Amino acid sequence: MDIQVVCVSWGTRYGPEVVNGLCRAVRARCSRPVRFVCISDRPAAAYDPGVDGRPFPAFARLLPSVGWGCFLKLSIFAPNLLDPDLPTIYLDLDTIVRGDIARLTDELTRHGGLLMLRNHMTPTWRLPFPLWPGAYYFGNSSVMAFRPGEFTHIFERFNEASLEDARGRVPGHLRTDDRFISRAARGRLRVFSTGLAVKFAQEYVSAWPAWQRVKSALPWVRRRRRDQVAVTFAGSAFKPERLAMVEPGEVLHHKGRRVYWATPEFSDYFRALREEITPPAAGRPAAPACAAGIRPGGPSTRPAGGRSARTRIDP
């Protein structure tokens, strides 16, 4: 069976070369036929022939407190935009594809529902009942697996919720796509194992350099990282255009922490994107047409905050 891969591109931060590079990386490593869809405010951009550019669907209205990243990512759940029955993988554009994404759809076939990235360590999604009324596991939406026809209610509920609050007060679960999707998929949400897909900051970054060095040397951690299919780089410090230029030992700042860059293979991957070639298998050993009056704007950034700490990254 074909695999449907979808990404979302808006504004000017990521050009067509990033979309093309992601598509090439997926196709180069996938063991099954891939249909690659990019939902974009520039559906006719200079995408590769293998990229199917499609415009954004119409939304009910823009919520003042909801960022564009949340608002537009929910397009992937719009009815009739994607093939409703195909196993579908969503990837943020700041995600590195290191392995066969068919392994992600195999997980979807085994468990069903909607799979997201692990966002915190307590696996409350495993419980047969919520810890309290209305509780839900808060996943990360940078990498997801689902069948579109089973989750069109997410898009519809977002439009309904945006019309209900005429005074512009936005509940917490509407402020980010992660929270809204997690809440709307409550009861059917699972997370990928860390052997399949991870957030870079969660897997490779630590406030305690000595512990991170020990962790990176553990045999099962090395095997896990070697076999991971996708690593996503959430956070303003870890964007492709920045990481492509970083040299080993250079200091980055992530949430108030000093990060010492020690993974040049990831820089090589993003550098290949800029050169519009198929990115290498990073880290591997040896081998919108929106509602009237609404237009996507530029990306928002979040200032770094929190306590200062020394953080080291080890491959």
pLDDT tens digits, residue range 93-135? 999 999 999 999 999 999 899 999 987 655 555 555 555 455 5
Which sequence spans correspond to the domains of the chain? 3-313
Torsion of CA 302, 270, 92, 193, to 10 degrees: -100
- With H, G, I as helix, E, B as strand and everything else as coil, classify residue 28: helix
Asked whether 232 and 94 are in contact (CB, 8 A), the reply is yes
Amino acid identity, position 191: V
Residues 201-239: pLDDT tens digits? Answer: 888 877 666 777 787 788 888 898 889 999 998 777 787
CA torsion through residues 302, 267, 275, 17, sign? negative
CA pair distance 142, 6, nearest whole angstrom: 11
**CATH class label, 3-313:** alpha beta
Percentage above 90 pLDDT, the chain: 34
Q: How far are the Cα atoms of 82, 165, 242 from residue 94, in angstroms, in the given order?
A: 22, 33, 11
Question: Looking at residue 128, what is its pLDDT?
Answer: 52
Question: Which residues are CB-contacts of 58 (< 8 A; sequence separation ≥ 6)?
Answer: 289, 290, 291
Q: What does the DSSP 8-state code read for residue 17?
A: H
pTM for this one?
0.81
Residues 282-308: pLDDT tens digits? Answer: 654 333 333 333 333 333 333 333 333
Closest CA to 63 of 54, 51, 52, 72: 72
Residues 146-178: pLDDT tens digits? Answer: 999 999 999 998 888 776 655 555 555 566 788
